[in-house]
C-alpha cells in the first residue's frame, strides 16, 4: 500500500460526528468524496492525518474547534430586519439563508442560520454550523482518484 502526497486527488468515505453523537455528514464508499490534498477543502488537522494514511486504511480522527471551523464568535450573531431577507423569504428557526453582505466594497451572499423570528426582527448566526464543535471523523482513504475524474 502507498500513502497520498500533497496535491494528490483522492477518494474518501467518512462519517462525521459531533461529541453528542449527532452525525453531521456521511459520505458512502459507493459515492466517495473527491478531494485534492492541499486545496484547503478540509480542516488542516484532518488533511495532515490523511497524508499519514495508506490507501484502504480506516482511522478515527478527532478535530478540535481551533483546528476545524474555529470557535463560535458571538459577534457573528446579529438581529436584522425581515426586509433584509433575500427574495422576500419567510424565515423560520433552523433555516439556512443567503444574506447580502458587503466585503471590501463587493456585495456578496453570505450563509446564515436563522435562530429566532420575532415580528419583523430576525436573529441570524453567521458562524459556520460546525464552529465551536469538536468533530470526529471515521474516515477511510479509499484510493487515488481515477485520472479521468481529475479536472
- Burial class of residue 124 (count of CB atoms within 10 Å of its CB; 0-12, 13-18, 19+): buried
Beta bridge mates, 138? 15, 60
Q: Is the predicted pLDDT of residue 58 greater than 80, yes or no?
A: yes
Regarding whether 30 and 17 lie in a shared domain, the answer is yes
- 91 and 52 within one domain: no
My answer on whether 66 and 78 are in the same domain is no
Does 3 fall in a domain? no
In a shared domain, residues 63 and 98: no
**Average pLDDT in the chain:** 90
**Same domain? 99 vs 121:** yes
Distance in Å from the first CA to the final CA of the chain? 25
Let me know whether 65 and 16 are in one domain.
yes
Per-residue confidence (pLDDT) for residue 87, from 0 to 100: 64
List the beta strands (DSSP E) in 19-82: 23-27, 33-36, 58-63, 77-81
Estimate the share of the chain in helix, then strand, then coil, as percent rounded to the nearest 5.
15, 45, 40
In a shared domain, residues 13 and 66: yes
Quick one: DSSP state of residue 67? T
Please indicate, yes or no, whether residues 87 and 34 belong to a single structural domain of this protein.
Answer: no
| Same domain, yes or no: 91 and 47 | no
Cell readout for 93 is 428557526
Does the pTM surpass 0.75? The reply is yes
Residue 28 within any structural domain of the chain: yes
Residue 149 has pLDDT above 60, yes or no: no
Give me the domain span that covers residue 113.
74-125
Domains identified in the chain, total number: 2
Same domain, 66 and 93: no
Q: Is residue 4 part of a domain?
A: no
Nearest by Cα to 136 from 44, 46, 63? 63
pLDDT tens across 65-112, in order? 999 999 999 999 999 888 776 666 788 999 998 887 777 788 888 889
Q: In the structure grid, which three cell numbers stand for residue 147, read together?
A: 485520472
pLDDT attached to residue 150: 46
Per the domain annotation, does 55 fall within a domain? Answer: yes
Amino acid at each position: 500500500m502507498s500513502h497520498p502526497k500533497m496535491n494528490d486527488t483522492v477518494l474518501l468515505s467518512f462519517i462525521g460526528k459531533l461529541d453528542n453523537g449527532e452525525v453531521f455528514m456521511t459520505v458512502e464508499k459507493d459515492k466517495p468524496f473527491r478531494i485534492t490534498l492541499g486545496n484547503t477543502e478540509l480542516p488542516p488537522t484532518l488533511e495532515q492525518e490523511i497524508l499519514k494514511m495508506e490507501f484502504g486504511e480506516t482511522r478515527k480522527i478527532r478535530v478540535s474547534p481551533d483546528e476545524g471551523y474555529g470557535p463560535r464568535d458571538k459577534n457573528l450573531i446579529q438581529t436584522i430586519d425581515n426586509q433584509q431577507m433575500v427574495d422576500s423569504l419567510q424565515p423560520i428557526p433552523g433555516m439556512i439563508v443567503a444574506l447580502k453582505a458587503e466585503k471590501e466594497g463587493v456585495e456578496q451572499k453570505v450563509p446564515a442560520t436563522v435562530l429566532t423570528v420575532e415580528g419583523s426582527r430576525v436573529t441570524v448566526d453567521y458562524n459556520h454550523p460546525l464552529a465551536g464543535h469538536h468533530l470526529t471523523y471515521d474516515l477511510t482513504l479509499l484510493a487515488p482518484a481515477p485520472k479521468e475524474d481529475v479536472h
